[in-house]
Structure 1
Amino acid sequence: MKIIVPMAGRGSRLRPHTLTIPKPLIPIAGKPIVHRLVEDIAGVLNQKIDEIAFIIHKDFGKQVETDLMAIAEKLGSKGTIYYQNEALGTAHAIMCAKESMSGPLVVAYADTLFRADFTLDVTADSVIWVKQVEDPSAFGVVQLDSNNQIVDFVEKPTAFVSDLAIIGIYYFKSGETLREELQFLLDNNIMKGGEYQLTDALENMKQKGLKFVPGKVDEWMDCGNKNVTVETNSRMLGFLHAERQNLVHSSAVLVNTTIIPPVYIGENVTLNNTTIGPNVSIGKNCSVENSTIQNSLIQTHSKIKNAKLSNAMIGNYASFDGDFTSISIGDYSVLD
C-alpha cells in the first residue's frame, strides 16, 4: 500500500503561520498535521505502508523535505518527494507522483484530519471517504444507490442530493488505472476553471463500470485558517486524552502551575506561575510565565509572559508579553 499526499499549496488562509513553513507541517497536539494524517490512514488501512509520496513546491526548502522523509521513516515507509510548481489542479498535482502510482494506494490531501472506525472494502475499485454534514451546498458530495455504491459526484449542490461530503481522502485498488485516467485528462487538455480536476477522472472511471463505495468517518477536522486550526487542536487533544495518552513530556518543568486537561506540553517546556488549559498545546522549548492560557496553540521555542490567552495561535521563536487574548502571531514575531 502507498499513500500520495499532495501538499504544494502554502496555505494562504493560515498566514502568518505558513509564511515560513507549509500548512501540513503546522503541529496539532504536538505533531505535524501531515504526520497525524498518514498515521490515521495507516490505522484505518491496517496494513503496511510501503511508500509515502509527498508532492510539494520546490521553494519549500530542504528542511521541509528532511522533515517529511523523517515522518515516512517513523512509519517504517519509504519517503519520496515530488514537485508541483504550477497550481494546475488536483489531477495535475497527483500526476506529479506518477512514478509512484502502482498497486493499491491512498490519495490524501494534507489539510484535514479525521477519526474513523471502519474496515476498508478492498474489493472496491475505489473508496471515497465522506462525512455527513449539515450544509452540503458548501462541499463536493457523493450520491449513493440502494446498494451503498456511489453513483454520482456533485460539486456544491444548490438543491439537495446528498449530505455526504467528500473530505479529500481516496483509496484506489489500482494506481495504474488512476494514472491512466489522469493522463487522459492532461493529454486531452480537459480542464474546469483552468485546472485539471480529480473528479473528472473519477467520473470517467465510474462510467467505465468501476465500483465506488463510501468510507464514512466519524470526525472531520479542518485546518484551513487560524480559528478552525485552534478548534481542531482542541478536538484532537480531547480524543487523545480520552485514549489516556500521556501528553505532558517528562522533561517539562512546572513551578506553581496548574494544568487543566486536555493539554499537550512538549519537551523542555518551562511553566512558572501559570494556569494552562483546557485545550492548549505548547511545543518544545517554550517558556510561559505569569499567564493563563486556554483553547490555544503555541508552537516551539516561544516565550510568553503576563498573558491571558484564549483562541490564540503563536508561531515558532515568538515572544509575547501583553494583554491581548485572541491573537495570531507568526514565527519570530515580538509583541510586547
Structure 2
Amino acid sequence: IETWARDNLDVPVAFVTQPEMRGQTDAILRARDLVSGDALILFPDALFEADFSPLRHVEADVVMFTKHIDDPSALGVAVVENGRIVRLVEKPQEPVSNLAIIGIYYIRSMPDLYAAIEEQMRRRLSLKNEYFIADAIQLMIDGGATVIPMPVTEWEDCGNAQNLLATNRYLLQRHGSIGNECAGSVIVSPSFIADDAIIEHSVVGPFASIGAGVTIRDSLVRDSIIEEGAQITAAQLDWSIVGRRASIQGVAGRLNIGDDAVIDS
C-alpha cells in the first residue's frame, strides 16, 4: 500500500505504524503529530460514493456518513433526533435505528477528537482491548459536540469474504469486462482479466477477477477473485477467493484460501 500510494498519488503521504492491534482510535492517536485542524477519516474496508462538497460549509463538530440499510445488526448505528446524532449503538440487537455508520468521518477539530480519545482510554472504554471511534465520538456528544449524519449514495462493505465477493460483482457490473480475449477459452462478461494472465481451455466468468500472472487451465471459474500468481488446474470454482501464488488442482466448489496455499484433490 505504501509503495502504491507514493507512486500513484500526487499528494504528500505519510504512514504511521500500529505495533499492536489496539483498535481504531489507538491508530488515530498515533497520527496526532501529523494531523491537526480538520480531517477526513476513512476506513479502508468498504467502497463508497459520496459528495464531500457540503463539508466546506458545515458547522457541525463531527459529520458521520451513514446509509439506511434493512439489517444493521452487524454494524454500528446512529440514533438521530432533530437532525443531530444523539447516540451511537454498536451492533444493536433491538431495532433502535437502521441508519448504519459506515466508517467515514469528518472531524472539524482533530485536537477535540484526540482529547476524547484520551478520555476514552482513561475510562478504558474498549472491547476486547480495542478502542473504537464510536466511543470517542459518543464522549464528544455527551460533552455537547454537534454531530450530524450525512448520506452516501453508494456503499459496499468488504469486511468479510461474502461481502468482498458481492463488492467484486458491484465493480464488474459498473465497469464491464476488462482484459485480454484469451483465445481458446470463453470469457463471460462482466469479468476482469489481467493482461498477463494465462487462460487455456477454460470458461471464466461471469463476475470473475483474475489477477496478474494467474494461470488457469482446463477449469471453470465464476463469481470469484483469483489473486496474483495463483495457478488453477482442472478445477470448478464458484464464489471463491484464492490468494496470491496459491495452487489449486482438481477441486470443485467454493474456496476461501490464503497466499501460497496448495490444494490438490
Structure 1 SS opposite 2:178: coil
Q: Tell me which residue corresponds to 1:55.
A: none
Alignment equivalent of 1:105, drawn from 22, 39, 49: 39
Report whether the alignment pairs 1:137 with 2:73.
yes
Q: Tell me which residue corresponds to 2:247.
A: 319
Hey, which of these two has a bigger chunk of helix by percent? 1
Q: Tell me which residue corresponds to 2:258.
A: 330
Q: Tell me which residue corresponds to 2:195.
A: 267
Distance in 1, Cα, partners of 2:232 & 2:156? 28
Work out whether residues 157 and 167 of structure 2, in 8 Å CA contact, stay in contact via their aligned partners in 1.
yes
Work out whether residues 120 and 139 of structure 2, in 8 Å CA contact, stay in contact via their aligned partners in 1.
no
Structure 2 SS opposite 1:332: coil
Q: Which runs of 5+ in 2 are unaligned?
A: none
Q: Tell me which residue corresponds to 2:157.
A: 222
Higher Cα Rg, which structure? 2
Moved more, 265-274 or 206-215: 206-215
The total of aligned residue pairs comes to 261
Structure 1 SS opposite 2:195: coil
Work out whether residues 181 and 187 of structure 2, in 8 Å CA contact, stay in contact via their aligned partners in 1.
no
Amino acid at match of 1:238: Q
Work out whether residues 120 and 215 of structure 1, in 8 Å CA contact, stay in contact via their aligned partners in 2.
no
Q: What is the CA distance between 1:73 and its match in structure 2?
A: 4.1
Alignment of 1:8-157 (within 5 A): 67-116=1-50, 119-122=53-56, 123=58, 124-146=60-82, 148-157=83-92
If the length of structure 2 is used for normalisation, what is the TM-score?
0.87
Q: Which runs of 5+ in 1 are unaligned?
A: 1-66
Work out whether residues 131 and 217 of structure 1, in 8 Å CA contact, stay in contact via their aligned partners in 2.
yes
Distance in 1, Cα, partners of 2:6 & 2:151? 25
Distance in 2, Cα, partners of 1:297 & 1:167? 24
Q: Tell me which residue corresponds to 2:175.
A: 240
Of all paired residues, the percent bearing the same amino acid is 32
Q: Tell me which residue corresponds to 2:225.
A: 297
Work out whether residues 212 and 229 of structure 2, in 8 Å CA contact, stay in contact via their aligned partners in 1.
yes
Check 1:180–1:301 CA distance in 2 against 1; reply closer, same or farther (3 A cut): same
Alignment equivalent of 1:176, drawn from 111, 114, 120: 111
Structure 2 SS opposite 1:205: helix
Q: What is the CA distance between 1:265 and its match in structure 2?
A: 0.9
Q: What is the CA distance between 1:117 and its match in structure 2?
A: 5.0
Work out whether residues 106 and 169 of structure 1, in 8 Å CA contact, stay in contact via their aligned partners in 2.
yes
If the length of structure 1 is used for normalisation, what is the TM-score?
0.70
Structure 1 SS opposite 2:172: helix
Report whether the alignment pairs 1:256 with 2:184.
yes
Q: What is the CA distance between 1:82 and its match in structure 2?
A: 1.3
Amino acid at match of 1:162: S
Task: Output one character per residue of 1:247-284: Cα deviation in whole Å (capped at 9) or x when no partner.
Answer: 21xxx461222222111111311222222111000000
Distance in 2, Cα, partners of 1:305 & 1:195? 42
Structure 2 SS opposite 1:312: strand
Higher relative contact order, structure no. (Cα contacts within 8 Å, ≥ 6 residues apart): 1
Task: Output one character per residue of 1:123-175: Cα deviation in whole Å (capped at 9) or x when no partner.
Answer: 132211112122233321112223x3222222233433211011112111222
Work out whether residues 105 and 171 of structure 1, in 8 Å CA contact, stay in contact via their aligned partners in 2.
yes
